[in-house]
Chains A and B, each alone.
Chain A
């Protein structure tokens, strides 16, 4: 997966590059609008991350040029401005997502992965699983090591999300939005409590812990070995 980042703030650009590279993406960085547009039109990218305010030409102009060239690459906007008109403008021009600075890197990563996944047709899985954990989507049943586990509807939804995106660090805001449809940043520890309860049912009786807290970032479901 190859990403192009167009960001004129040197530090921001470098950190984004580093973070995304370490998350397993090939990244290229352009620090002004003209270079950015040239690369976006000539390189073969899977995703564009554009800052709105750029020297040369702004992010919207690049987006327009990209869409005018008939490229359907997903485009994620980063901006320090959060005016409704901006958001609407960006979406009208064909932006796929929008993040307002300051944002958490884990949030960006989760959005990038969502956008990249969007292109591929979702697999019609009936079961999800990791290690000895099994989740049956049709019968809505969960088993760990052959033992049936009773989960509430929300716990089931939470576990399904973690399983579908196993290995990814999911920020709290994303979990709140996906599982409970709460699309605002709240700094309550609701998610912490919900995860703790899920852990109690899934992990506590087993040595091989699957749900992990990535401090300050979010939660991840993965097998790390005992």
Chain B
């Protein structure tokens, strides 16, 4: 079944409301008129009744009635719409002032009757202690006609007003829902190539502003993710291009003429280095991709962070000694986390610090326990870093010096990105600081 549009739905609801309101008003009005007519009739009949009672004083049989009939008829001839019936208690009719009157209602009081196409209001009373019954008939056909006309009018009004509000409602709904349609148009215009389109939040009505905001925020995130994805793909291609071209060139050059066994061996070794570098890159990227998909699920073992830090410092000790860099650790804290992942994260930071600490320098690992979190800092003496660049250090493939990528021991620039992913998988945060000749990476890990 086709679903009703919002506009039609609103128009129909408007029409129904108007119909109900005008119908109610009409019915009330028609009831009030009917009651009013009854009151008028009653007054009229009552005034006639007192006169007739006088004239019929003492009548208790057809015989006693006969002498008064001429006066009665004269009186009635002044009243064209009034008819009179006089009868006995037993229901027999002694006198009808007109032919074609309806049967008596038999009950004392006011009734509405109908006979031979004429409507009557009748008033029935007992005369002279109940020996005779007098019924007055008032022709109210014109009243009934009026009421019928009014009913028709009411139905007409109901129908017309419903139709009118349906049309007006449709128009109102259409113009009222214009921002929604606008939203739809903008949304339908969004594609991978035009994620920059935004809904005009300021021009939206209050009810839609929030939705517009949500949609805009979603577009923002999509745009951001898409930009990063595109940049990432471009970066991957770029990163792989250098080792691939090295491999191609080197292999082709080697094969152009016969060479000594040692030369072949050397060529294969060189290729192996490039290939290992590429394999490492691909593995690191898969790791990051896993992190992006929320698949990095750290186990929660109880760890003494100082032990992990010491294990890493021991691991790096020979390298640091060679580089004449002093390593130290201060503080301690327990933490529930994934040992391998945290070691990897810290290892990347130390590796990075060792790379940028000049000979005679120092690297300090500090562990602090704070309210609800553990703060782990890796600080090294080194060149100050432009504060604007600090957040970029965690971007994939970011290198302080873009021209640098020589030798297979060089990181592809994914180390800090991996560290951040691991920290985030643990629910923590990482930031870089540079002040007073120290470069500092600060990791905050929640203890819960």
Shortest beta-carbon distance, A199 to chain B, in Å? 12
Cβ of B354: which chain A residues have Cβ within 8 Å of it? 188
Please give the number of chain A residues whose Cβ is less than 8 angstroms from any Cβ of chain B in the complex: 26
Cβ of B322: which chain A residues have Cβ within 8 Å of it? 193
Cβ of B312: which chain A residues have Cβ within 8 Å of it? 182
Contact A190/B316 with A181-B311, A216-B269 known, Cβ cut-off 8 Å: yes
Cβ of A83: which chain B residues have Cβ within 8 Å of it? 290, 295
A187 CA to B315 CA in the complex, in Å?
Answer: 13
CB atoms of B318 and A190 under 8 A apart: yes
Contact A184/B347 with A82-B286, A104-B276, A190-B315 known, Cβ cut-off 8 Å: yes
CB atoms of A154 and B347 under 8 A apart: no
Chain A residue at minimal CB-CB distance from B283: A185
Partner of A102, one of B273, B283, B409: B283
Tell yes or no: B53 within 8 A of A by CB.
no
Shortest beta-carbon distance, A57 to chain B, in Å? 26
Residues of A186-226 whose CB lies within 8 A of B: 186-190, 193-194, 197, 215-217
CB atoms of B351 and A180 under 8 A apart: no
A102 CA to B351 CA in the complex, in Å?
Answer: 24
A186 CA to B297 CA in the complex, in Å?
Answer: 20
Residues of B337-383 whose CB lies within 8 A of A: 340, 343-344, 347-348, 351, 354
How many A-B pairs with Cβ below 8 Å? 66
Which secondary structure dominates chain B's binding surface?
Answer: helix
Cβ of B126: which chain A residues have Cβ within 8 Å of it? none
CB atoms of A187 and B409 under 8 A apart: yes
Tell yes or no: A114 within 8 A of B by CB.
no
Bin chain B's interface residue count. Answer: 20 to 34
- Bitwise interface map of B from 384 to 397 toward A, beta carbon under 8 Å scored 1, else 0: 00000000000000
Most chain B CB atoms below 10 A, which of A154, A183, A193? A193
A181 CA to B315 CA in the complex, in Å?
Answer: 9
Shortest beta-carbon distance, A56 to chain B, in Å? 27
Cβ of A68: which chain B residues have Cβ within 8 Å of it? none
CB atoms of B319 and A190 under 8 A apart: yes
Residues of B390-409 whose CB lies within 8 A of A: 408-409
Partner of B311, one of A102, A180, A188, A216: A180
CB atoms of A197 and B318 under 8 A apart: yes
Which secondary structure dominates chain A's binding surface?
Answer: loop
CB atoms of B409 and A216 under 8 A apart: no
Tell yes or no: B44 within 8 A of A by CB.
no
Cβ of B343: which chain A residues have Cβ within 8 Å of it? 181-184
Tell yes or no: A84 within 8 A of B by CB.
yes
Cβ of A187: which chain B residues have Cβ within 8 Å of it? 277, 280, 408-409, 411
CB atoms of A180 and B314 under 8 A apart: yes
Chain A residue at minimal CB-CB distance from B278: A102
CB atoms of A193 and B314 under 8 A apart: no
30 contacts between A and B (CB under 8 A): A82-B286, A82-B290, A84-B297, A100-B286, A102-B282, A104-B276, A104-B279, A180-B311, A180-B315, A181-B311, A182-B315, A182-B343, A184-B343, A184-B347, A185-B283, A186-B348, A186-B351, A187-B277, A187-B408, A188-B347, A188-B354, A188-B409, A189-B319, A189-B409, A190-B319, A193-B319, A194-B318, A216-B273, A216-B276, A217-B272
Which residues from chain B sit less than 8 Å from chain A, CB to CB? 269, 272-273, 276-277, 279-280, 282-283, 286, 290, 295, 297, 311-312, 314-316, 318-319, 322, 340, 343-344, 347-348, 351, 354, 408-409, 411
Which residues from chain A sit less than 8 Å from chain B, CB to CB? 82-84, 100, 102-104, 154, 176, 180-190, 193-194, 197, 215-217
**With A182-B347, A184-B344 given, can you name 7 additional A-B contacts, CB distance below 8 Å?**
A83-B295, A84-B297, A181-B343, A184-B343, A184-B347, A190-B316, A216-B269
